[in-house]
């Protein structure tokens, strides 16, 4: 649903802006990079349009931002009225995210360093919404199942998991690195490079990895939030229509076929 804020979040404190820039440089980042200092603006122009069309009311909703990065998504959720906890496995990034929130005047977010994503410090069913924005593809392959089960544990029955921005391993070009065909290489090839290669996530892992008790609210209908949010973002009909047709023919949500996986998975109350 559309939210009360008409204006985007802005930097409210120049002193905290300097602290944010200093921490970014400590992490080897450029503070003015669009994916660092400008990430909140990006999420306002993209993720907000998804949230505007979701069947959710964010005001007062307990939200977990899993893998908060620089905190941009968490800041947006808090700005739109949610009660937000945000986690990351890297303490330096948690500090950066906290400073990012502070410079935007969003001091209500609870940022928590969680070095083990398979054991989160939250109670069963603590959250009504879990946001995974461009994060599952960075979870080690051997830990993927345990992490998804842990997220299922802390989500309340009837709550939802929102996946956005996740690189889709079906596509020949990996969405974040831009490497061609890397998604199709088996894990055994990593030994040739001496380190794990960045790959996307298979859509069936995204769809079913949290358990069998989830319903995908992302459908191929032109009236569904997926199509409406993409039209709001300016996706041309010539690109959107084939995606919807293909998804309808396959009986899957269109966001599972997109280069960046997107779906809203609702945990069934009987689980």
Task: Give the model confidence (pLDDT) of 169-214 as tens digits.
Answer: 999 999 999 999 999 999 888 888 888 899 999 999 999 999 999 9
Sign, CA torsion 51/124/135/205: negative
Does the structure show a pLDDT above 80 at 147? yes
Q: How far is CA 135 from CA 51, 87, 88, 164, 192, in A?
A: 18, 11, 10, 9, 25
At 110-122, the pLDDT tens digits run: 999 999 999 999 9
What's the average model confidence in pLDDT over 137-157? 95
Paired residues of 214 in beta bridges: 267
How many Å apart are CA 25 and CA 110, to the nearest integer? Answer: 23
Tell me the percentage of the chain whose pLDDT exceeds 70. 97
Correct CATH for 14-219+255-267 of 3.40.50.720, 3.40.50.850, 2.40.170.20, 3.40.50.150? 3.40.50.150
Residue 196 has which token pair? 């794990």
217 pLDDT exceeds 70? yes
Residues 6 or more apart from 118 whose CB is under 8 A from it? 143, 146, 147, 150
Q: How many CB atoms lie within 10 A of CB 150?
A: 20
The overall average pLDDT reported for the chain is 94
User: What pLDDT is stored for residue 2 in this prediction?
Assistant: 52
Question: What pLDDT was estimated at residue 269?
Answer: 87
- Domain positions in the chain are 14-219+255-267
Q: At what angle do helices 225-233 and 237-250 cross, to 10 degrees?
A: 160
Say how far apart CA 254 and CA 121 lie, in whole Å.
33
Cβ 121 vs Cβ 114: under 8 Å? yes
CB 101 within 8 A of CB 74: yes
Has residue 85 got a pLDDT over 60?
yes
Q: How far is CA 42 from CA 179, 184, 227, 233, in A?
A: 23, 29, 19, 11
Average pLDDT over residues 27-38: 96
């Amino acid at each position: 649903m559309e939210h009360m804020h008409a204006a985007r979040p802005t930097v409210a404190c120049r002193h905290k802006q300097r602290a944010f820039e200093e921490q970014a440089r400590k992490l080897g980042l450029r503070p003015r990079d669009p994916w660092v200092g400008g990430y909140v603006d990006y999420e306002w122009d993209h993720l907000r349009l998804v949230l505007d069309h979701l069947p959710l009311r964010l005001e007062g909703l307990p939200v977990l931002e899993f893998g908060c990065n620089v905190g941009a998504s968490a800041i947006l959720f808090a700005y739109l009225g949610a009660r937000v906890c945000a986690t990351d496995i890297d303490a330096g990034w948690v500090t950066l995210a906290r400073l990012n929130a502070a410079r935007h005047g969003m001091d209500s977010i609870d940022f928590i360093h969680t070095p083990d994503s398979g054991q989160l410090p939250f109670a069963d069913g603590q959250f009504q919404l879990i946001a995974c924005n461009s994060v599952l593809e960075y979870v080690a392959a051997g830990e993927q199942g345990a992490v998804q089960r842990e997220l299922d544990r802390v989500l309340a029955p009837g709550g939802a998991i929102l996946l956005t921005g996740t690189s889709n391993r079906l596509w020949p070009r990996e969405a974040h690195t831009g490497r061609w065909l890397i998604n199709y290489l088996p894990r055994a090839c990593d030994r040739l490079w001496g380190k794990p290669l960045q790959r996307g996530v298979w859509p069936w892992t995204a769809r079913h990895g949290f358990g069998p008790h989830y319903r995908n609210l992302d459908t191929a209908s032109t009236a569904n939030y997926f199509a409406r949010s993409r039209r709001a973002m300016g996706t041309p009909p010539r690109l959107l229509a084939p995606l919807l047709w293909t998804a309808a023919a396959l009986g899957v949500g269109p966001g599972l076929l997109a280069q960046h996986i997107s779906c809203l998975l609702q945990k069934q109350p009987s689980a």
